[in-house]
Amino acid sequence: MKKQLLLLVLTFSVLQTNAQLGKTEDMKKSMASQNKDTVAWMKGGLLNVGINQGFLHNWAAGGELASMTVNGLFNGYVTRLYHRQVWTNNLDLNYALFYAYSNNFVPRKMDDRIDFTSKYGVRLDTAKDFYLTGLLNFKSQFSKGYDYKSNSWDTFSVSNFLSPAYITLAAGIEYRKGNNLSLFFSPAAARMTLVDLYYTLRDPAGAYGVENGKTSRFELGAYFTGRYNTNLDKPLAYRTRLDFYLNYLAKDAVDATGKVVKKDNPGNVDWLWDNLLLYKANKFLTVSFGLTMMYDNDLPYSNKIVDATGKEVSRDEPGEFLGWMQTKQIFTLGFAYKF
C-alpha cells in the first residue's frame, strides 16, 4: 500500500512538473507576440560559429592555394517585465577573420561589430501597445581595421577598438508587440561620435564626421529604430532591423582656410538595414545568410587606390555600382546554439 501511494505521489508530481513546463513554454510564446501585465524575466540568444576552408594544387583555373575563414555571431536579449513597465536589452556581436596562403596567412578582418541597445518603457493606459520609452544605443568594434586595397595597408589603421564609437540617447514613443516587434521613434535624440585623435589628424576633413584635430562630435536629431523577428517555418527564422537618424545640426565642414571639405545638411539621413536568415538543419548545424546595408554621409566612398609609386589610380570593384552605400554579405555553414 505504501509503495502504491508513493508511486501515485511521484506520478502526480511528474505530471504537475510537465504541466508547469508546458505553461511556461506557452507563456513564453504568448509573450513573444503580446504585451502581458505580469512580472517575469525573459531571455534568449543565438551563438553561431562557422569555418570555411579551401585548398588548391595544380588547379588550372587558378585561385587561392589555401584559405580559411572563421566567423562568429552572437545575438542575445534579456527583458524584464513588471506590470506596465518593460526593460529590454539587446546585444549583437560579430567577428570574422580571413586567412590566405598568398598573404602568408596573416589574418584580415572581414567583420567586426559591437552593438548594444537598452530600452526602458512604461505602457500608456489609453493604448496597450504604446510605451513612453527611453533608449541607449552603443556601437563600436573590437580591433583595428585596415584598408586592404592600399599597397601599404599594414603601415596604418583606419579604425581601432572603440574608435570610432557611437553613443545615442533618445526619448520617445515605442510601439511594441511582445519581443517580436518593436518600432521606436524619437524627435529629440542626441548622438555622440568618439574617435582617436590619430585618425582625425590624417585628413583635412577629419574622420567619421569628427573634425580634424578633434576627438568627438555631438549631434541632435530625430531617430527611428525598428526590430522584427519571426519564424517563417519551424526550422527557418528571420530577423531584421532598420535604423534612421537625421541630424538637425548638420552643416558643411570647412578647413582652416574656409574651404568646404565635406558637404552636409539635415537632408542627409543616415540609415542601417540589418538582415539575418537562419535555417536550422538539426540541433547544432545551421545555414545562415546575413546582409547589412548602411549609408552615412560622413563615410564617403572612393574608387581610388595608391599604386607602388604612390600615385592614385582608379580600381575596378564588383560592387562599385553601390557607391557610398556600405554593404556586407555573409553566408555561413556552421555550428549554432540557441537558448
Each domain of the chain, given as residue ranges in start order, spans 1-33, 37-338
Q: What is the pLDDT of residues 58-80, one digit of tens each?
A: 676 677 888 888 989 999 999 99
Distance CA 147, CA 300 (A): 14
What pLDDT is recorded for position 318? Answer: 54
Fold category of 37-338 in CATH? Outer membrane phospholipase (ompla); Chain C (2.40.230)
Mean pLDDT score, 22-28: 49
Q: Are 189 and 204 in contact (CB under 8 A)?
A: no
Cβ partners under 8 Å of residue 283, min gap 6: none
What pLDDT is recorded for position 220? Answer: 96
What pLDDT is recorded for position 130? Answer: 94
Q: Are 34 and 178 in contact (CB under 8 A)?
A: yes
What pLDDT is recorded for position 336? Answer: 78
- C-alpha grid cell for residue 38? 505580469
| Strand residues in the chain grouped as ranges (E) | 39-55, 66-82, 85-100, 108-124, 127-140, 165-177, 181-194, 216-233, 236-247, 253-254, 260-262, 270-280, 285-295, 304-306, 312-314, 326-338
Q: What is the mean pLDDT of the chain?
A: 82
* More confident of the two residues 88 and 7: 88
| Total count of residues recorded for the chain | 339
Element (H, E) at 193: strand 181-194
Distance CA 97, CA 339 (A): 25
